[in-house]
Amino acid sequence: MALSYKRNKPTDDFDCIIIGSGMSGLTLAAVLAKEGKKCLILERHYTPGGYTHVFKRRDYEWDVGIHYIGEVHRSYTVLHKAFNYITDGALKWEEMDENYDSIFFGKERFDFIAGKENFIEKLASYFPEEREALEKYVALLKEVNSTSRNFFAEKALPPLISKVMGGQMRKPTLAYSQKTTKEVLLSLTSNEKLIGVLTGQFGDYGLPPEQSSFFMHAILAKHYLNGGAFPIGGSAQIFDTIEPIIEAAGGEVYTNAEVAEILTKSGKAIGVKMEDGTEIKAKKVISSVGAHLTFEHLLKSEKKAEKMTENVQSIEASAAHLCLYIGLNANQETLKLPQTNYWIYPEGEYNHDTNIKRYLADPDKYSFPLIYISFPSAKDPTWAERYPGKSTVEIITLTNYEWFKKWDGTRWHKRGEDYDTYKENLSQKMLQYLYDYVPQVKDHIDVYELSSPLSTKHFVNYQKGEIYGLNHHPERFNNKKLRPHTPIKNLYLTGQDIVSCGIGGALMAGVLTASAMEKKDFVKKILS
């Protein structure tokens, strides 16, 4: 169980301090715990888990970051084995419907069906003349993903060994990562509609086809090719099943515990200073809160951090988002909500880049360039028992942090009437999509609450309310400094910035950082 820093104070009796209790920090602590290490996790939020946590309002519960995860429901995958390793098999998954995602352009619908052959067959039914392109596309996803293990493993190597071996380990991936998604797909097909459909999940990594690295797209698309799954009991089960592993080794997790500064001495990390001025010492410090925050804000007086600050500043933050959390006063039997996720785009507009550019230039004139609707209560088999007579929906769209900047610095839930009015207008626009695509819910809305980029900044501390850390454009994957080792001895990075976005990326980042710290191949150990 997490402890509140307001009521309890940790000692210096830990092997390492991990800043942030998201997926990467929890994974790292659990892997190290199995090596006998006592880890102290410090979380600024009042609840642990990062994007895996849940929040509750009026007898409803929503998962803030987990909407579906691929590969965990297949026992042979690295991700399935990794979750089993860090939870001792306690975390269980419910496979979603085989139609895991549906891509809409207006009411024109394209279904993604689990399984390589099923995926190809279904899309070929919409695009019969493009079967060859679809087969090449799926084969390419596999080919690109096969290069990723060495690419990411190189990041865990000691710097001197990396200088010798790193180039060859990275080279196969760079052949794909340095091209945009649009560039690669145009080499397979000139069909703009098909490209729009194949990139219909781009919201899962935040960049449209002309800007995103094809490597990122391939990782994501392959990740879901066999469908998706949801944690049984909700995403809070992720923390609840990992924390006992950490605690068994003497580790502890503290909430309401904001770190103000990483302490260094003679170029070495020696601990952290808390917001209240308390200093906590440890032999090693690991930041899982993102490269920007780590080097720009937590290393205030460390000269060795200056070059890293310049380096990460060259990569902009990923997209900001809105999320509308909706509670319905009816059960699944009444509403028959789908497990399928809906990705909704403007009618007849298959170019995602154009849609985003137009919307950002004139949001009053153009419709949202992307609406994602998820039905978490339909995905969790324990929901009806835990919340009888209730259901939930979440709607997500991209936004611009600058539109909310004038309210920056105001207090959460006390930002003023103009802010509340602005959010209500956005909420109503988003609700209209729900009424259009899931009309049976209209008379059952009991409560709704909109999360803005300021909410993300308040709770997660991403400075521009970004959802995926650093942007996943081609240049990001050519950055050799986004790795566990830092220029400061005994200070390490973990998190989605050193691997890729999402829960799977963050989990593997934790494994990667553990490998770098302990000089062991934990991927091999997990798979054995």
30, 61, 90, 238, 399 from 502: Cα distances, Å = 19, 21, 21, 14, 19
> 277 or 458, which is more confident?
277
Joined tokens for residue 309: 């600050």
What pLDDT, on a 0 to 100 scale, did the predictor assign at position 155?
96
User: Predicted confidence band at 118 (pLDDT cuts at 50, 70, 90)?
Assistant: very high
Average pLDDT over residues 369-390: 98
Joined tokens for residue 43: 């979380």
Phi, psi of 231 (to 5 degrees): -65, 130
Joined tokens for residue 269: 């990390």
Average pLDDT over residues 83-101: 98
Contact 234, 384 (CB under 8 A): no
212, 229, 445 from 31: Cα distances, Å = 32, 23, 42
At residue 149's C-alpha, the angle toward residues 145 and 153, to 5°, is 150
Question: How far is the C-alpha of 434 from the C-alpha of 486, rounded, in Å?
Answer: 46
pLDDT digit string (tens) for 47-56?
999 999 999 9
pLDDT of residue 185 exceeding 80: yes
Average pLDDT over residues 451-477: 90
Question: What is the overall mean pLDDT for the chain?
Answer: 95
Joined tokens for residue 14: 């830990």
pLDDT of residue 304 exceeding 80: no
User: Predicted confidence band at 317 (pLDDT cuts at 50, 70, 90)?
Assistant: confident
Question: How far is the C-alpha of 507 from the C-alpha of 71, rounded, in Å?
Answer: 13
Average pLDDT over residues 316-336: 95
The share of the chain scoring above pLDDT 70, in percent, equals 100
What pLDDT, on a 0 to 100 scale, did the predictor assign at position 334?
97
What pLDDT, on a 0 to 100 scale, did the predictor assign at position 88?
98
pLDDT digit string (tens) for 390-441?
999 999 999 999 999 999 989 888 999 999 999 999 999 999 999 999 999 9
Question: How far is the C-alpha of 421 from the C-alpha of 450, rounded, in Å?
Answer: 11
User: Which residue, 212, 222, 235, 207, is CA-closest to 147?
Assistant: 222
What pLDDT, on a 0 to 100 scale, did the predictor assign at position 309?
80
Q: In 3-state terms, what secondary structure has residue 171?
A: helix
Q: Is 115 left (phi over 0), alpha (psi -120 to 50) or beta?
A: left
Question: How far is the C-alpha of 252 from the C-alpha of 254, rounded, in Å?
Answer: 7
CB atoms within 10 A of CB 248: 12
**pTM of structure:** 0.96
What pLDDT, on a 0 to 100 scale, did the predictor assign at position 348?
97
Question: How far is the C-alpha of 370 from the C-alpha of 395, rounded, in Å?
Answer: 10
CB atoms within 10 A of CB 67: 21
161, 321, 396 from 64: Cα distances, Å = 40, 12, 11
What pLDDT, on a 0 to 100 scale, did the predictor assign at position 312?
82
What pLDDT, on a 0 to 100 scale, did the predictor assign at position 121?
98
Q: In 3-state terms, what secondary structure has residue 17?
A: strand
What the chain holds in terms of domains, given with CATH numbers, is 3-53+233-315+469-527 (3.50.50.60), 97-226 (no CATH), 319-339+375-460 (no CATH)
What pLDDT, on a 0 to 100 scale, did the predictor assign at position 14?
97
User: Predicted confidence band at 58 (pLDDT cuts at 50, 70, 90)?
Assistant: confident
What pLDDT, on a 0 to 100 scale, did the predictor assign at position 465?
86
Beta strands in 430-516 (DSSP E): 445-451, 491-493
Average pLDDT over residues 21-32: 98
What pLDDT, on a 0 to 100 scale, did the predictor assign at position 320?
93
Question: How far is the C-alpha of 187 from the C-alpha of 375, rounded, in Å?
Answer: 36
What is the arrangement of strands in the sheet containing 259-265, beginning at the earlier edge strand? 259-265, 268-274, 279-281
pLDDT of residue 126 exceeding 80: yes
On the 0-12 / 13-18 / 19+ scale of CB atoms within 10 A, 456 is buried
